[in-house]
Chains A and B, each alone.
Chain A
Amino acid sequence: MPRVQFEDIIKTYGRVTVLKNLDLEIDDGEFLVLLGPSGCGKTTLLNLLAGLLDVTAGRITIGERDVTDLDPKDRGLAMVFQSYALYPTKTVRGNLKFGLASQKIDGAEVDRRIAWAARMLQIEPLLDRKPAQLSGGQRQRVAIGRALVKKVGLFLFDEPLSNLDAKLRTEMRLEIKKLHDELKSTIVYVTHDQIEAMTMATKIAVMDGGVIQQFGTPDEIYSRPRNLFVAGFIGSPAMNLRAGKITNGGGTVTAALDGVTLDLGRYGFASQPADGQPIVVGLRPEHFGAPGQALADAAGTFSLPVQYTEKTGGDATGYLKFGDGLIAARIDPEQIGRFRQGDTVDVSFPQGKVHVFDAVSGARL
């Protein structure tokens, strides 16, 4: 169960740079999720680790081994692909068996491993079927099985659940999590789905533009986003980001945005902000207080007209008109009746939940 290290990785395609001087360390037994929008370089990074692509410059080590120039089969890892990539002419058993093609092990051990993986993934009755005779979820299990039989310490997953329907996805999410707990192996998992990332990962690396924007536990990423990109990317509905200005005078720090003043007296600034510094304030929709109730530790209260509301079963979001944009606030679905279009409601925001970013650099203050 090895440690994985990327050192100063550069990857270019012709004149396009996909990864810029990337450094990343994945600890033994970690479940790392590479999260980011399409084209952020997360799949490229995974393929570099798998050996399916060559780095332009840099070094990759797995355990103590420098694998930068090794063939994929010699790197001691297994990979599950987005499209499953099963061999169509082989049976499930044949697929699992070919997973061991590069390992020199005897027939009895091969059979033992296939039986073990099949039991673990509950695909025993399917062993003699061809991939075409399987459903999407079953194919996904076989694809995972083909990786499992290798008994390696490092598994790579490339958006493995994106082709499944919502219900199956939730099931498989749990199952992959369970596999990780049982096998205690290191997992690198690529996805653009933040729910997958938040639920499964022990560490998340949020990527954008070929750069790791933040690397940390799911809680850290959610509660202390390091910059505007991470703040806007994590959370659904997305964090409300509004431009404003710092007022720093007389021992109190406040933020003025569009007529509302937010008290930042208890905000943990890394360094004291300057008076008049342009900032962006981030307010998560789910942290707004209930409409009409003033919170004791409110940083500020918004009195805004309702534009429209959105209900998703057990959850509801109100969109309030603020300046020339909208602010989303999570509301109790029971109370949605009180949010009528055009009505003005008072919602307050608690002090400890405010995020403040530098408007120029985008970094957290």
Chain B
Amino acid sequence: MSVADVSLRRAGEVPVERAPRFPRKPKGISGRSIAIIVFLTICAAFFCVPLYIIITTSFKTMEQVREGAIFSLPAPFTLDAWWSAWDTACSGIRCDGLKVGFWNSMAILFPSLILSIALSSVTGYALALWNVRWANTFLFVLFICAFVPFQIIMIPLIILSSGLKVYGTIWGIAIVHAVLAMPFLTLVFRNYYKGIPQEIMSAAMMDSGSFWRVFVEIILPMSGNILIVVLILQITSIWNDFLLGLTFGGLGTQPMSVVLANVVITTTGEAAYNENMAAALLTAIPPLFIYFVLGKFFVQGITAGAIKG
């Protein structure tokens, strides 16, 4: 037995010692799998081709764009369009680029994330794990609220927020985002916490019995998975929102999506396609970044080891 074999065995693996008597046939490519591959390729092309055009165009000069060969690679390769989109693109009469919108979006994103997640996780925890009077009625109301389209309550909300003197401010947009997300997020958290084994909660009741201490020390550390899901959900929906930013944002407090639209619409002379494409990509970067970074933190089995397993 070789050294490698010994170390393999120690690792709990057993090396194959003789040729298999009943070798498995390798699976060939059938007509069915070819059809599936063709179908999937077409589907992928459907998304990839426009993306390819957007990306290549954003690195081209306007001279090359004017030539009209939209599938050609950028030559010369330039970052000028990206810079001007970020720094000097005109939205309406202001020519400060997308950066204003970017920082506005950031300023909207963080308060509304913290507000909506804090409120909805605590509410979900209370509804799922504590005896709350009228809990089911409350859940039903939340359920209904989660399905009311924003457009229906838009005008009343504007009147309300201007009465509260937050209309047109960054805080106004942030709060409205948080409030609108509340019903759905509460349902999400509540359903997740319902899955926590009853006995863990019983044990916590016997050990501490304090609403906040059990939440902070036991429940919150077990919420990793759902927090990631909610973060991705909230960041993308707040970042990509257009209507709310458009209607609630004042001059200079508009989020990036609204600024992007204005940049694309505002044209003096020719349409700067390369700049528009770069602006669109710039706006799309943050949610993409979130997907890639947070996606890695998806962990399985939050209750591993807590109960019999």
Contacts and interface: CB of A to CB of B under 8 A. Distances in A.
A101 B302 contact: no
A139 B308 CA distance: 9
B44 interface: no
Given A79-B203, A81-B202, A98-B217, A86 B305 contact: yes
Contact of B209 (A79, A84, A102): A102
Contacts of B4: none
Contacts of B221: 89-90
Interface residues of A, number: 34
B207 interface: yes
A88 interface: yes
B206 A78 contact: yes
Given A81-B202, A87-B218, A101 B208 contact: yes
A146 B303 contact: no
Interface in B267-309: 301-309
B209 A85 contact: no
A50 B305 contact: no
A98 B202 contact: no
B199 A72 contact: no
B111 to A, nearest CB: 28
B305 A134 contact: yes
Given A88-B303, A101-B213, A131-B305, A82 B199 contact: yes
Nearest to B214: A101
B79 interface: no
Most B CB contacts (10 A, CB to CB) among A88, A99, A132 go to A88
B306 A84 contact: yes
B205 interface: yes
A72 B201 CA distance: 12
B200 A85 contact: yes
A85 B306 CA distance: 5
A188 B76 CA distance: 83
Given A85-B200, A98-B217, A73 B305 contact: no
Interface residues of B, number: 26
A70 to B, nearest CB: 10
Contacts of A136: 308
Secondary structure class of chain A's binding surface, majority of residues = loop
Contacts of B307: 83-86
Interface string A129-140: 011111010010
B222 interface: yes
A73 B206 contact: yes
A103 B301 CA distance: 31
B210 interface: yes
B282 to A, nearest CB: 38
Contacts of B301: 132
A71 interface: yes
B280 to A, nearest CB: 41
Nearest to B203: A85
A277 interface: no
A101 B207 CA distance: 6
Contact of B206 (A50, A87, A90, A134): A50
Contact of B210 (A85, A101, A131): A101
Interface in B196-235: 197, 199-200, 202-210, 213, 217-218, 221-222
Interface of B: 197, 199-200, 202-210, 213, 217-218, 221-222, 301-309
17 contacts: A51-B206, A52-B205, A71-B205, A72-B206, A72-B209, A79-B202, A84-B199, A84-B307, A87-B203, A87-B217, A88-B305, A90-B217, A98-B218, A101-B207, A136-B308, A139-B305, A146-B203
